[in-house]
Structures are given as C-alpha cells and as structure tokens.
C-alpha cells in the first residue's frame, strides 16, 4: 500500500513538473494542479495508511487509528488550490485575450524591446 501511494506521489510530481516547463499557459495550469494533487496525497499519507481504521482513539480497545490532522490539512489545501487555480485561469485568460496568443515567450519579448531601444 505504501509503495503504491509513494509511486502515485512520484508520478504526479513528475508529470506536474513536466507540464510546468511547457511554453503554453494551459499545460502550466494543469501542471500546477497535478503538483497540488501530489502534495495532497502526500499529506494524506502522513496520517498513517490504515484500512477501515477510525480517526479517533478508543481507550477501551487497542486498534490502529488514523490521524485526523492531515485529513483536515488536505481539505483546507483542496479549497485553497481551487481558489488559486481559478485566479491563475483568469490571469491566463486575460493575457490570452490581450495578446491573442498563449505562449510564454519572455526571450522573444525581450528581443523586441531591445530592438526598439536601438532605433
């Protein structure tokens, strides 16, 4: 079970970093979402991976339990990542509508600015 969760975190992180390094805005947004999913799965796994275990201690019975704090952190992180994704989508949409292009080309923009300074 731990190997499966660790593999899932690794694959989500690798795919997220791969997409963040693209030159268009939509894959960058998807990459950020995948990274937040990877962090959420990692946080959830820190609360102990136990199947059918309660989230509270029982002083009369010795059973494995799961920690409720990482579950609360993941729930909070989901809400924050949804808001962050909505803001990033609106910024990317505004940039696309103003320039009619969704490429992230800082080098091309710098060369255009430098050419205008020489004239």
**pLDDT surpasses 50 at 119:** no
Q: Tell me which residue range forms the domain holding 104.
A: 2-118
Domain count, the chain: 1
pLDDT of residue 101: 77
pLDDT band at 12 (very low <50, low <70, confident <90, very high): very high
Q: With contact defined as beta carbons under 8 Å apart, do 44 and 29 qualify? A: no
Q: With contact defined as beta carbons under 8 Å apart, do 30 and 12 qualify? A: no
Give pLDDT tens digits for 30-81: 999 999 999 999 988 887 777 776 667 777 777 777 777 888 888 999 999 9
pTM of the model: 0.72
- Alpha-carbon distance values, 3 to 8, 37, 49, 94 (Å): 9, 17, 11, 42
Instruction: Determine the Cα–Cα distance for residues 34 and 3; give it in Å rounded to an integer.
Output: 19
Give pLDDT tens digits for 76-116: 999 999 999 999 889 888 888 887 877 776 665 555 555 55
Residue 21, domain CATH: 1.10.287
């Amino acid at each position: 079970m731990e190997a499966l969760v660790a593999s899932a975190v690794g694959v989500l992180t690798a795919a997220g970093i791969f997409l963040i390094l693209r030159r268009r805005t939509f894959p960058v947004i998807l990459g950020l979402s995948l990274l937040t999913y990877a962090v959420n799965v990692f946080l959830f796994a820190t609360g102990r991976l136990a199947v059918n275990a309660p989230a509270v201690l029982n002083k009369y019975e010795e059973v494995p339990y799961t920690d409720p704090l990482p579950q609360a952190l993941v729930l909070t992180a989901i809400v924050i990542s949804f808001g962050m994704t909505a803001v990033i989508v609106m910024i990317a949409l505004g940039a696309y509508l103003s320039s009619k292009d969704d490429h992230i080309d800082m080098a091309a923009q710098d060369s255009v600015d430098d050419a205008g300074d020489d004239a």
